[in-house]
Amino acid sequence: MTTPSTAPAPSTAPIAVTGATGQLGGRVARLLAEANLPLRLLVREPGRAPQLPNATVHRAPYAEADAVTEALAGVEIVFMVSASESEDREAEHEEFVAAAANAGVRHVVYTSFLGASPEATFTLARTHADTEVDLAASGMGYTFLQDSFYMAMARGVAGPDGVIRGPAGMGRCAFVAHRDIARTAAHILRDPTPHQGRAYRLTGPEALTFEDVARTITEVEGRPVRFQDETVEEAYESRKAWNPPPWQADAWVSTYTAIAAGELDVVSGDIEQVTGTAPVDFRTFLRTRRG
C-alpha cells in the first residue's frame, strides 16, 4: 500500500518580473518563459514590454504604490530589479517594498550591489544597502543578488577617442556579464525556498584592472583602447562636459574610486555554486557580445 505524498503542490501563481523592458529583467523574463512558467511583467511603459507566452503586462512604476499593489495581487515571488539611477531611487524602492508586502508577496529576489553598505565608496551602493534593510524588515522572504559592475559597462566607458578615464589606479574589479546574473536569478526564482535569507556575490571569474580591460578590448575587437588614470579632481572636471547633477557626478566618479579602494576586488564562486556553471570571462564576453 502506498502512502499519499504530503509534499505541497507546486504553486501556479505567476512570477512577477520588474524591469522587463531592460537588459537584465528582459533576460530573466525570457528564461522563465522558456521554462513555461506563468509571468506577470511590471513595467513603466507597457508598449515596450516583450511579448512572451503565458505572460501579462502591467504598468506599475515603483513609486506608484496602488498600481504596484494591484499588479502584484496573487503573486508570491517577485524579481525586483533596482530602479533606474536617480536621486529618488531609494524612495522608489521603499514604496515598492511596502506595496509588495501589502499585496501578500512571499519572496523577493533583489538585484543589489557587491559590498552594499552605508559606508560604501560607490555612492549608489549605499542605496542598495538601505533597500536590503527594508526588505529584511518587511516580513517577506528575500534573496539578495549582490552584483559586481557589469562587463557591458567596462566595455562601454571608453570615450570616442578610445580612452577610459577615471581615478581607479591599479584597482581591480571582477566585472560580471548580464547573462550570468540573469540565469542565476532565473534559477533562484523557480524555487526560492533554499535561497531564503541568502546574499550571493555575483562576479566574473577574474579581477581586472582598467589597463587589463583596455588591453583586452584592443586585442579582441581591434580598436585601440587605453586607460588614463585621473585624480579625483580631474575626474569631476572631465565630467562637467555632460553637466550632471551632483548625485550623478558623485556616482560616476565613485565607480572608479571604489575600484581603487579595493572594494570590488572580489572573485566569488556563487554563480557556479547556484547554477552549476561558471560565469564567462571578459575575453569570452567580448567575443560573443550577448550581454
- In a domain, residue 118? The reply is yes
- In a domain, residue 152? The reply is no
- In a domain, residue 154? The reply is no
Q: Are 110 and 77 in contact (CB under 8 A)?
A: no
Cα within 13 Å of Cα(40), Cβ side: 22
Task: Please state the separation of Cα 221 from the chain's center in Å.
Answer: 26
- In a domain, residue 166? The reply is no
**pLDDT of 35-90, one tens digit each?**
999 999 999 999 999 999 999 999 999 999 999 999 999 999 999 999 888 888 99
State which amino acid sits at residue 288: T
Residue 5 has pLDDT above 60, yes or no: no
Do the strands 107-113 and 141-147 form a parallel or antiparallel pair, or are they unpaired? parallel
Q: What is the pLDDT of residue 125?
A: 96
Q: For the whole model, what pTM was predicted?
A: 0.93
Q: Are 40 and 15 in contact (CB under 8 A)?
A: yes
Q: Look up the domain containing 189 and give its range.
A: 15-147+177-202+267-279
Angle at 143 (CA atoms; ends 138, 149), nearest 5 degrees: 115
Q: What is the pLDDT of residue 290?
A: 57
**pLDDT of 172-189, one tens digit each?**
999 999 999 999 999 999
Residue 1 has pLDDT above 80, yes or no: no
Compute CA distances 18 → 71, 78, 145, 203, 240, whole Å: 11, 8, 15, 22, 33
The helix/strand/coil state of 120 is coil
Q: For position 195, which CATH number holds?
A: 3.40.50.720
Tell me what the mean pLDDT of segment 208-230 comes to.
Answer: 98
- In a domain, residue 34? The reply is yes
- SS in 3 state form for 223-284? CCCEEEECCHHHHHHHHHHHCCCHHHHHHHHHHHHHHHCCCCCCCCCHHHHHHCCCCCCHHH
User: The dihedral of CA 34, 36, 40, 45: what is its sign?
Assistant: positive
- In a domain, residue 24? The reply is yes
Q: Which residues pair with 110 in a beta bridge?
A: 80, 144
**pLDDT of 108-134, one tens digit each?**
999 999 999 999 999 999 999 999 999
Domain count, the chain: 1
- In a domain, residue 286? The reply is no
- In a domain, residue 29? The reply is yes
